[in-house]
Structure 1
Amino acid sequence: MPRVTIADVARAAEVSTATVSNALNCTGRLAASTRARIRTVAAAMGYGDAVAPRTLGLAVTTYGTRPWNYAHVPYFAQAISAATAAAHERGYALITLPAAPDEAVWPSVAVAGVLVLDSPADDPVARTLRARGLPLVFDGRPGPAHPRETWVDNDHPATTREVLDHLTAQGARRVALMAGPGDEHYTRSCLSAYGAWCAEQGVTPRTIPLADDDDQGHALDALLSGADRPDAIYGIYDPCARRVLTAAARGGVRIPDDLLLVCASEDPALAVADPPVSTVSLVPRHTAATAIAALVDLVERPDRPPAPTVVPARLDIRASSTRPAV
């Protein structure tokens, strides 16, 4: 049979080809009923290339085009699980995409919209998806707002201050922030809040980079053995806690006696570590489910984009960051 064209759909729906294009790509100013009618006509005629499938995408673009396995990180593992369940509840499949797939994937992957986690500044993947006119929801705040986009995020400045205030209340005076190499909103926001807090306290910021291939925390050895070593560390990524614990044990640094420790992590093993580690949870299950609900709303009701949402984080205080009252 001859291939159905956009002109065929326009004739059948008794509208212009431009109106068909706007309806199928969720652009332009159309009544929701008109948009739905045209999409129904297009689907009935088999014009599948322009009709969005009931499939959503999930992408982690923290490091741009650099490949890395994010699925083993507890935060992302929980987010993927929750996002999949939320998509299924709304009748959609979910494709989890590699961190840096072949360049041909992004322009052609058949999805109705994409949940983008930890998008860096000037994200090349987001640019490609926007060029396709796809609705996007960001876990983490992107840069300038674009049409058919929204975000879900935690209040990272408030959470950072809560952790820093907790550590100082426990007697810390030289608090260091251990941060990753990413340029996504989360890292930038935590670093900015830490810098502002240090300025208010009149102390010098101490930032510890999170090295890529240093599971044993050897990069911390010189820092923890120095005369002016920090007396508290807040690590904002999952690997921070284990690296600090390993390096501290190797150097004879006692936690919490010599060094207080808080880490942003979803790893349940930290609650039963020796000592149990205080953690910040960014509640990825709630965040991802909220983001998927917003993405489905963007796909199905493009004329009524949902507002951005702030999900509270949670500080669980354990032995690693508490000292007995004197």
Structure 2
Amino acid sequence: MSRVPGPTLADIARAAEVSTATVSHALNGTGRVGEATRRRVRETATRLGYGTPGPPRSRTLGIAVTTFPAAWNYTEIAYFSRVVTAATSAAHARGYALTTLPADRAADDSWHRLAVDGMLIVDSPRGDPMVRALRARGVPLVFDGLPGDPRPGDHWVDNDHDTTTRQVLDHLAAAGARRTALQSGNGDEHYARAVTTAYEQWCAERGAAPLVVPFDPDDGQGHALDTLLTCRDRVDAVYAAYDPGGRQLLAAARRHGLRVPDDLRVVCASEDPAYETTDPPVTTVTLDPERTAHAAVAVLVDLIEGRSTPLRGPVVVPAGLLVRASSGTGPGPHSGRSHRP
């Protein structure tokens, strides 16, 4: 059965004669809201039936990626498409439908009316408006990746990005790399911050200056890497923390006449199987999206159905380093070996 929509934050705002943002702060106990206003908003919400038990559950879960505020088709990225597919399978196995929601819905008030029993939120940034809206409604939430604004009692599934990053860097060093750079995101998402922090700490422990290149998804030829690959003290290895980075590095190496892996060793975090057939095949890090999605759905359904769950996140899913020719000391002596942290 479908859930009959209850009062939204906009309904409460109109009745209490305040803004929707004030309602969200008042119900969440956040922001600078006077006590009298906070009390009036909460009394209005109670009078309108906000948050009270409603009809039978919808047997529907939602999933969305809210990393970036603008509209983008995250299902075109291998990691996210595999998470969505695996989460759908896991939801169906537990008797639930799964609704995949576009990222740009976080920009309007549809989260206040969304008829789901619980939400799986991938890469939630700080100040996520969708999370604020669903928290205010009391909708159970489970996160893929540490939420931008974690609270006691939150549940999330994640990889150990510190251990994984160090394993990649140690692997490159063991293969002969002496000067390794990181291509990482310049946004506020937890993944980029965690990988960059681990890289900088690894460099500091070895007395090396960190070299971080911002990832640009539109830089198909890897021009942002030109300086690092052509300067006098050029790098001889790069870890690309995002899916297209491996192809950008191969393109940049070809443009500058560098051989991979003899002149430049390459590792890329990606779930794209096409990296097995590039020239040379690229060593990749897999974050195991299937295992992540199944674990997240299991925790979410347990929350919805009132079963015992861990007190709070995270549930840690091991990442995997799939070693191929691009990171070896020669044309492929390490290809095919797989290591897990």
TM range (shorter): 0.7 to 0.9
The answer for the alignment partner of 2:103 in structure 1 is 99
Distance in 2 of aligned mates of 1:68 and 1:226: 35
Counterpart residue identity of residue 93, structure 2: E
The answer for the alignment partner of 1:296 in structure 2 is 301
Cα 1:124–1:117 change in 2 (3 A) is same
Matches within 5 A, 1:165-176: 165-176=170-181
Which of the numbers 205, 210, 213 marks the counterpart of 2:215?
Answer: 210
Cα 1:77–1:150 change in 2 (3 A) is same
The answer for the alignment partner of 1:40 in structure 2 is none
The answer to whether the aligner puts 1:315 opposite 2:321 as a matched pair is yes
Q: Number of residue pairs matched? A: 285
The answer to whether the 8 Å contact 1:181/1:210 transfers is yes
Deviations 1:101-141 (A, max 9, x none): 25122111111111011111232221122111111111111
Counterpart residue identity of residue 76, structure 1: F
**Of 143-152 and 179-188, the range deviating more from structure 2:** 143-152
Counterpart residue identity of residue 207, structure 1: V
Distance in 2 of aligned mates of 1:21 and 1:106: 14
Counterpart residue identity of residue 174, structure 2: A
Distance in 2 of aligned mates of 1:299 and 1:130: 14
The answer to whether the aligner puts 1:142 opposite 2:155 as a matched pair is no
Counterpart residue identity of residue 100, structure 2: T
Distance in 1 of aligned mates of 2:208 and 2:151: 39
Distance in 1 of aligned mates of 2:134 and 2:186: 24
The answer to whether the 8 Å contact 1:278/1:320 transfers is yes
Query: What is the root-mean-square deviation of aligned Cα atoms in Å?
Result: 2.3
The answer to whether the aligner puts 1:237 opposite 2:221 as a matched pair is no
The answer to whether the 8 Å contact 2:148/2:189 transfers is no
The answer for the alignment partner of 2:26 in structure 1 is none
Q: Any stretches of 5+ residues in structure 2 without a counterpart?
A: 7-45, 334-341
SS of aligned partner of 2:294:
helix
The answer to whether the 8 Å contact 1:148/1:302 transfers is no
The normalised TM-score by structure 2 is: 0.78
The answer for the alignment partner of 1:71 in structure 2 is 75
SS of aligned partner of 2:76:
coil
SS of aligned partner of 2:98:
strand
SS of aligned partner of 2:235:
coil
The answer for the alignment partner of 2:43 in structure 1 is none
Deviations 1:148-192 (A, max 9, x none): 630000000000000001111111111101012331211111111
Offset of residue 21 of structure 1: 7.7
The answer for the alignment partner of 2:20 in structure 1 is none
Distance in 1 of aligned mates of 2:329 and 2:191: 29
The answer to whether the 8 Å contact 1:52/1:110 transfers is no
Offset of residue 295 of structure 1: 0.6
Cα 1:156–1:170 change in 2 (3 A) is same
Counterpart residue identity of residue 187, structure 1: A
Residue identity over aligned pairs, in percent, reads 55
The answer to whether the 8 Å contact 1:232/1:261 transfers is yes
The answer to whether the 8 Å contact 1:135/1:148 transfers is no
Q: Any stretches of 5+ residues in structure 1 without a counterpart?
A: 7-16, 25-46
Counterpart residue identity of residue 90, structure 1: R
Distance in 1 of aligned mates of 2:251 and 2:158: 31
Distance in 2 of aligned mates of 1:302 and 1:52: 16
Distance in 1 of aligned mates of 2:125 and 2:235: 29
Deviations 1:6-32 (A, max 9, x none): 9xxxxxxxxxx99x98772xxxxxxxx
Offset of residue 223 of structure 1: 2.8
Distance in 1 of aligned mates of 2:263 and 2:84: 37
Counterpart residue identity of residue 292, structure 1: V
Offset of residue 273 of structure 1: 1.0
The answer for the alignment partner of 1:126 in structure 2 is 131
The normalised TM-score by structure 1 is: 0.82
SS of aligned partner of 1:254:
coil
